[in-house]
Amino acid sequence: MQQILQKPWVREHAKPIVVLLILMFGLIRPFIVDAYRIPSGSMEDTLLIGDRILVCKFIYGVKIPGTDIKVFDLHQPARGDVFVFIPSHDDRHFIKRIVAIEGDTVYTEGKMLYVNGQAVDDSAYTKHLMFNNYRRNFPPFRQPEYIPDDDSYKDYTLTDSQFRRKFPEGKPFVVPKGMVFAMGDNRDLSSDSRFWGPVAVDDIKGQAFMVVFSVDNRPTKLWEVWKMVQNIRFNRIGKLIRSEPDSFKEN
């Protein structure tokens, strides 16, 4: 190795190569693409625990630091997109699907999701547990302590009994400006906007578009490396993560 590094052509090109790598991984990578590992089953079966995914970070635009100006905003957050974000009540990255955008009216009845009064045909990519302990209908939100202190939410911070007395038939939620409503594809095992409210567009980190690696578990001991190799899900490598805009009918 030392002999190779001493060759004239290596010494001549080493500096520009190093500079290029620094630019790629230090400047370009934070704005273009990033990788995330799926830690929970909230997006099953679209995404599985152990999937390593790529996220396009610039597709919704890149905000110029210190300003409200966005550049390269090629695509507005849309119904059906699978996206990564950091919610206002947490400092971790979450991944969910956008089911409603600003101005949309959203509610559920049993297993059925309604957006702007239209049933969403999401059976191809969502799943429900046969038995679960959660009350599926919303609002009110299940964790109202995370709901902003704003007139848009005042009716949804009531207790369950207060809400049922005031709105016996329920009350659809209108997504405020600058927000999207997020839900996991594994509907009965997902902490999402039904719990803690909508997601600010400014908190979105990017759109997920591909599974680049997937393994059932991660080894904790040296002798478990072979077990990890056996558990690689080769059929998921390169799998595209689809948006599902056709599920949402326009009025």
Q: Which domains does the chain have, with CATH numbers?
A: 38-247 (2.10.109.10)
pLDDT at 222: 59
Confidence class for position 228, pLDDT limits 50, 70, 90: low
Residue from 7, 40, 42, 161 carrying the catalytic annotation: 42
Residue from 7, 88, 96, 127 carrying the catalytic annotation: 96
pLDDT at 172: 92
Q: Report pTM.
A: 0.82
- 42 catalytic? Reply is yes
Report the distance separating Cα 244 and Cα 182, nearest Å: 14
User: In angstroms, how far is the first alpha carbon of the chain from the final one?
Assistant: 66
pLDDT at 22: 46
pLDDT at 78: 96
- 214 catalytic? Reply is no
Q: In terms of Cα–Cα distance, which of 115, 111, 112 is closest to 132? A: 111
Residue 207: Cβ-neighbour burial (10 angstroms; 0-12, 13-18, 19+): buried
The 118-119 sheet, strands edge to edge: 118-119, 112-115, 105-109, 173-174
State yes or no: pLDDT of 165 exceeds 80.
yes
pLDDT at 226: 65
SS3 39: coil
pLDDT at 5: 36
pLDDT at 89: 87
Alpha helix (H) residue ranges in 197-236: 225-230
CB of 156 closer than 8 Å to CB of 170: no
Alpha helix (H) residue ranges in 186-250: 193-196, 225-230
pLDDT at 14: 47
- What integer is the mean pLDDT of 81-91? 93
